[in-house]
Amino acid sequence: RTVYLNGEYLPENEASVSIFDRGFLMADGVYEVTSVLGGKLIDFDGHAVRLQRSLDELDMRSPISKEDLLEVHRELVRVNEIDEGMIYLQITRGAPGDRDFVFPDPETTTPTIVLFTQSKPGLADNPAALKGMKVISIEDIRWGRRDIKTVQLLYPSMGKMMAKKAGADDAWMTEDGFVTEGTSNNAYIVKGNRIITRGLSNDILHGITRAAVLRFAQEAQMEVEERNFTIEEAKDADEAFVTSASTFVMPVVEIDGVSLGEGVPGRVAPRLREIYLEESR
C-alpha cells in the first residue's frame, strides 16, 4: 500500500513519524475518514470543511490546501486501486523535538499530515445491515468538545470493547440520561414516520453522513425532529439506527438487551440506507 506523509507518496513501511510528534505524545491532532464507493470519494467537501473547522478550533494551521488534499485523496484511491473502502487522514501539531504542554511555534514546527487507504470490499452490501446491530448504553465521560474530530479515541475504543464483552456490537453513550452518540457514529430513533436525533452542539460530532441522511429523509417526506432523547425512549422506539462514513446507515435492533419492534431492521433505516447508497454512488 502507498501512503502519503508530509508531501510524499511512500510505501507504508517506509513512512515514519518522530517520537516527539504531539499526536503520539498528547493526542494533539485531528482526523477525517472519507468513504470510497466505486472508486469515488463520498462527500469530500463536507469532510474538508469539517477538517478546517477542527483545525481552526485547535489553532492549528493546515499544511495543505483543499485542492491539493483532494488531489492526494484521488491519487491514493488510484494507486491503491480502491473500489470500496476508506481514506484516513490525520493532521497533528507536529514534532517540536521535545515534550512540552505549550504549543510549539507554528513558524518552526509544521504539522504532520498522514493519509492512508483501507480497502473494504463489500462495504455497501454489508450483510450486517440486513441483521442490524446490538448496542449497549454506557456513560459518556469524554471531554466537552466532541464537535472537534480529535484523535483522542481511547474512551470510544474502550466503549467498543465493553460492547464486545457484553455480546453487542457497539455502545451508545449517554449524558444526564440522554443519548449523545455512538462510539464512532451518530444515533437516531424512529417513532412512526418520525426520525429523532440529537441536535448539533459541542456534545456530539457533526456527522457528514448525518447531514446527508437528514436531507435525504426530508426530501423523501419523512419527518425529522432534532432533539435529545433518553435511552429509555430509545428502547421503546419502533426502530433505531446509526450513521457514519464507515457504516453509512446501519440499523440498530437491540438496546441493552431490549429488542426494538420485531428485533429485525424495520422500514425506515433500510430505506434510508438504500437512498443514501443510491444518491452517493
Report the residue from 92, 150, 174, 209 that binds ligand PDD according to the rule CB under 6 A.
Answer: 209
149 is catalytic: yes
Residue closer to ligand PDD by CB (options 93, 198) is 198
Determine contact, residues 39/46, Cβ cutoff 8 Å. no
80 contributes a contact to ligand PDD by CB under 6 A: no
186 contributes a contact to ligand PDD by CB under 6 A: yes
Which stretch in 2-10, 109-117, 159-167, 243-251 sits in contact with ligand PDD by CB under 6 A? Answer: 243-251
205 contributes a contact to ligand PDD by CB under 6 A: yes
CB of 96 to ligand PDD, least distance (A): 27
Q: At what angle do helices 208-219 and 268-280 cross, to 10 degrees?
A: 110
Secondary structure of the chain in HEC code, one letter for each residue: CEEEECCEEEEHHHCCCCCCCHHHHHCCEEEEEEEEECCEECCHHHHHHHHHHHHHHCCCCCCCCHHHHHHHHHHHHHHCCCCCEEEEEEEECCCCCCCCCCCCCCCCCCCEEEEEEEECCCCCCCCHHHHCEEEEEEECCCCCCCCCCECCCHHHHHHHHHHHHCCCCEEEEEECCEEEEECCCEEEEEECCEEEECCCCCCCCCCHHHHHHHHHHHHCCCEEEECCCEHHHHHCCCEEEEEECCCEEEEEEEECCEECCCCCCCCHHHHHHHHHHHHHC
Q: Can you name the residues that pair with 281 across neighbouring β-strands?
A: none
Residue closer to ligand PDD by CB (options 163, 208) is 208
280 contributes a contact to ligand PDD by CB under 6 A: no
185 contributes a contact to ligand PDD by CB under 6 A: yes
Cell of 58: 485547535
CB of 205 to ligand PDD, least distance (A): 4
Residue closer to ligand PDD by CB (options 15, 211) is 211
Which stretch in 8-16, 97-105, 204-212, 215-223 sits in contact with ligand PDD by CB under 6 A? Answer: 204-212
243 contributes a contact to ligand PDD by CB under 6 A: yes
244 contributes a contact to ligand PDD by CB under 6 A: yes
196 contributes a contact to ligand PDD by CB under 6 A: no
**Other beta carbons within 10 Å of 228:** 17
Cell of 102: 505549550
Which stretch in 8-16, 178-186, 221-229, 258-266 sits in contact with ligand PDD by CB under 6 A? Answer: 178-186
CB of 97 to ligand PDD, least distance (A): 29
207 contributes a contact to ligand PDD by CB under 6 A: yes
208 contributes a contact to ligand PDD by CB under 6 A: yes
The 41-70 contact track toward ligand PDD, x by CB under 6 A, reads ------------------------------
- Binding region for ligand PDD (CB under 6 A): 33, 181, 184-186, 205, 207-210, 243-246
Active site residue ranges: 149
